[in-house]
Amino acid sequence: MNILNFSKANCKNCYKCLRSCPVKAIKIKNEQAEIVSEKCIGCGNCFRVCPQNARKIKSDLEKVKDAIKDGKKVIASVAPSYVGAFNMKTVGQFATGLLKLGFSIVEETAIGAEIVSEIYKNKIEKNDKRIHITTCCPAANDLIENYYPKLVDFMLPVVSPMIAHGKIIKEKHGRDSYVVFIGPCIAKKLEAVDFRHNDTVDAVITFDELEEWFHNNKIELDHLDESDFNKGSFKRGRAYPLESVLNDENVSREYEILKVSGIENCIETLESIENNYLDKVCLEINTCNGSCIKGPAMTGKNFYKVKNAVKDYVNEAKEKETFENFNCKNFNKKFLDKSPMKKEASEEDINEILRKIGKYEKNDELNCGGCGYNTCREKAQAVYEGMAELNMCLPFMRSKAEGLTNVIFEHSPNGIILINNDLKIKELNNKAEKLFHIKAHEVKNKPVQVILEDELFRRVLNTKESIIGKKIYYKEYNIVLFQSIIYLEKENILLAIMTNITEEEKHKQELTLVKENTIDAAQKVIEKQMRVAQEIASLLGETTAETKGILTKLKKIVLQENGDYR
């Protein structure tokens, strides 16, 4: 079930999530980070570090609200660290707040922790294994099952306090009761849907989700009256957030109690057990630094403020002398080898992938970790598995980009000059050198005025308004340039791009001259034609008159011959 993931809209390819992921359960596909659920342990590190807050966590809030609306018996199981997570004067105000939201019963998860502690004690006494590992932290449990399966046999086969309390609630209030765990842990959402727990916990709400619910319902805890929890807890159960699962009371003296928090420390400790560097140890393990007090879904409170509040809360509690009767088997849990299948790349495959990212020799493998993987070969393996993409190699992409930029810069048909805010030349390309008959090293870091008038550059720098496509004739170089001066705001620098249009202008002038000559010639032809036409017209007039006279005389002669004297 894909409960944890990233928002696609916000992912910026910074790979910070991948760098922080201790088990590399994040896949980069089409430049988008995606959590691979079968590899994820739910530690929440990626969500803590994401600068875009691109976290997408399946929320059970609406399910809980619907259960309340449907009139179900909705029961809250509250993790002990709540006392430092919310603004309130007394813990009774927190209980009142939950009742106002519609919860029927409010209890402390620490009740389950007390049961788990007692079972731990019994199992450690009856078992002589060289290592015992507590199983309260679901992220730590997944870490072992997925990545250190050889150590599964050392895990105390007991459910977590959340599951234990859920079982107690279901037994006491009926299987139809709706159990909601409330705490600072994201991994609890994964634990609640584990097939081994048989719908013991129906929903998980994190502290930050609950705080939002309070806010939306305009519930201010510190203004409420007090209410009692339906069932309270005792000192040992409340102390779980303080890394106090194990103590001298429930651990034989022949074992050393080792309390480890923080995912890196957990990994180092588990590797030490695998390599037989540790022996006769009872290991209390939590993936969050500072245990549950520093859970990924805490409400932004100061670590020591929360810790001190929990300490005071623990000190106020009484010691429990006896336990209710319970069947230990109901709280047993079988841990499994859940190590994900891994497609191992051959040496040839690895080398082929490395070559694609410009790593032809061992010295090319920088192992910078910018992509999120510790080594280039580890990244190549991830590419082979489909977990990573070639373009995640930042040095390679930078080199490629710089190489492409340099090619464009040096081979551009346009002259390009970069000028800083002091109007000094920072860079110019080969074309610019040819245009102005200079060498770059001769004018670099010198005022632009040494080659060009700086009036236009100064204007752009002062107004921050670019000049685009201005035609300028430079008499000293006998060239005409089509020039753009662009202000780059972020870099606070001027980019001058100049296209030599001298030949085009020369052709234009020649064409203009040809046009003018053609027009003159045409005008002369027209004038000559007009003169000829006038002369022809004049001649036609004379010949017409003569023709008329002759024809008249001829007419008279013909008439006289015919005896007609008209």
CATH class of 412-500: alpha beta
Q: How far apart are CA 313 and CA 239, in angstroms?
A: 9
> Is 347-400's fold the same as 412-500's?
no
Q: Which residues pair with 496 in a beta bridge?
A: 417, 485
* pLDDT, tens only, 77-100: 999 999 999 999 999 999 999 999
Whether residue 114 contacts residue 233, with contact meaning beta carbons closer than 8 Å, is answered with yes
As a whole number of angstroms, the distance between CA 469 and CA 481 comes to 9
Give the per-residue pLDDT at 236. Answer: 80
- What pLDDT score does 383 carry? 93
Q: Chain centroid to CA 26: how far?
A: 12
Residue 470 structure tokens: 């201005």
Please give the pLDDT value at position 321: 57
DSSP annotation string for 69-86: HTT--EEEEE-TTHHHHS
The Cα–Cα gap between 297 and 224 comes to 24
Q: Tell me the C-alpha distance between 18 and 33, whole Å.
A: 8
* Helical ranges in 9-71 per DSSP H: 16-20, 45-49, 61-69
pLDDT tens digit sequence for 384-437: 999 999 888 877 776 766 655 576 677 788 889 999 989 999 888 888 888 899
Residue showing tokens 């944890």? 4
Give yes or no for a contact between 262 and 289, defined as CB atoms under 8 angstroms apart.
yes
pLDDT of residue 554: 66
Report pLDDT for 395.
79
Residue 499 host element (H or E): strand 493-500
CB neighbourhood size of 439 (10 A)? 10
**Residues 6 or more apart in contact with residue 153 via CB below 8 angstroms:** 129
The pLDDT assigned to 297 comes to 86
Cα 108 to Cα 79: distance, rounded to the nearest angstrom: 6
Radius of gyration of the chain from its Cα atoms, rounded to whole angstroms: 44
Q: Give Cβ neighbours of residue 259 (< 8 Å, ≥ 6 apart).
A: 243, 246, 284
Per-domain residue ranges for the chain?
59-318+327-331, 347-400, 412-500, 514-566
CA 125 to chain centre: 48
Nearest to 91 by CA among 396, 312, 289: 312
pTM over 0.75: no
The whole-number pLDDT of residue 57 equals: 87
Say how far apart CA 99 and CA 231 lie, in whole Å: 14
Q: Domain spanning 347-400 has what CATH number?
A: 1.10.15
Q: Residue 413: what are its φ and ψ, rounded to 5°?
A: -75, -5
Let me know: does 219 contact 100? Beta carbons within 8 Å: yes
| Residue-by-residue pLDDT tens, the chain, 566 positions | 578 888 876 777 788 889 999 999 999 988 888 999 999 999 988 888 888 888 788 999 999 999 999 999 999 999 999 999 999 999 999 999 999 999 999 999 999 998 998 899 888 888 889 999 999 999 999 999 999 999 999 999 999 999 999 999 999 999 999 999 999 999 999 999 999 998 899 999 999 999 999 999 999 999 999 999 988 788 888 888 886 777 766 676 788 889 999 999 999 999 999 999 999 999 999 999 888 888 888 877 788 888 898 889 888 887 765 556 666 668 999 999 999 888 899 999 999 999 988 888 888 888 888 888 999 999 999 999 999 998 888 777 767 666 555 766 777 888 899 999 899 998 888 888 888 999 988 898 999 999 998 899 999 989 999 998 888 888 888 898 888 999 988 778 899 998 888 888 777 766 667 667 767 766 776 777 777 777 776 766 666 666 666 667 766 666 666 555 45
How confident is the model at residue 506, as a pLDDT?
A: 78
CA distances from 360 to 25, 353, 364 (A): 28, 10, 6
DSSP state of 466: -
Give pLDDT, residue 405: 58
Distance CA 342, CA 259 (A): 31
